[in-house]
Amino acid sequence: MSDKVIHASDADFETTVLHSETPVLVDFWAPWCGPCRMIAPALDELAEDYAGRAKVVKVDVDQNKATALKYNVRSIPMLLLFKGGQIQASQLGATGKAQLSQMIEKAL
C-alpha cells in the first residue's frame, strides 16, 4: 500500500477533502469488497503519480457511515473527484487506472 494514499474519516473528511488546495479522488470502499481490493493497486499508483498535484483518499464506508450517507454511497467501490469542495466527476464500480487518471487530469 502506498504511503501517499490518505485514509479519511467522518471527523476529518471536510478538512482532508473539501478544503484541499488540490483535486481529491475519494474511494469509498470496505475491506470485504473484492472489486475495492482489485482497484487498490491502481489507486496506490495514482497517488504516487499525482503526488503534490492531487490527492487520493480512501473512506471505509463501514467505519465512516456519516460520510457515506452524506454522499449517498449505495454501492462500492464508488469514486468521487472533488475540486474546490465540489464533486467534479464520479465513477461507480471498479475501473482501470487510465479512466481514473483521466478524471484527475480534467480537474488539474
Please choose, from the candidates 21, 8, 2, the residue with its C-alpha nearest in 3D space to the C-alpha of residue 71.
8
**Does pLDDT of 1 surpass 70?**
no
- Percentage of residues in the chain having pLDDT higher than 90: 97
Which pLDDT score is estimated for 95?
94
> With contact defined as beta carbons under 8 Å apart, do 13 and 67 qualify?
yes
Q: Which amino acid type is present at position 74? A: R
Enumerate domains of the chain plus CATH numbers: 6-107 (3.40.30.10)
The HSE-up count of residue 24 (CA atoms within 13 Å, CB side) is: 25
Question: Of these residues, 5, 36, 42, 78, which one is catalytic?
Answer: 36
Choose the catalytic residue: 24, 33, 59, 61: 33
**Mean of the per-residue pLDDT values for the chain?**
96
Q: Is 87 one of the annotated active-site residues of the chain?
A: no
More confident residue, 2 or 4: 4
Active site residue 33: yes
- The whole-angstrom separation of Cα 52 and Cα 67 is 25
Query: How confident is the model over 35-56, as a mean pLDDT?
Result: 96
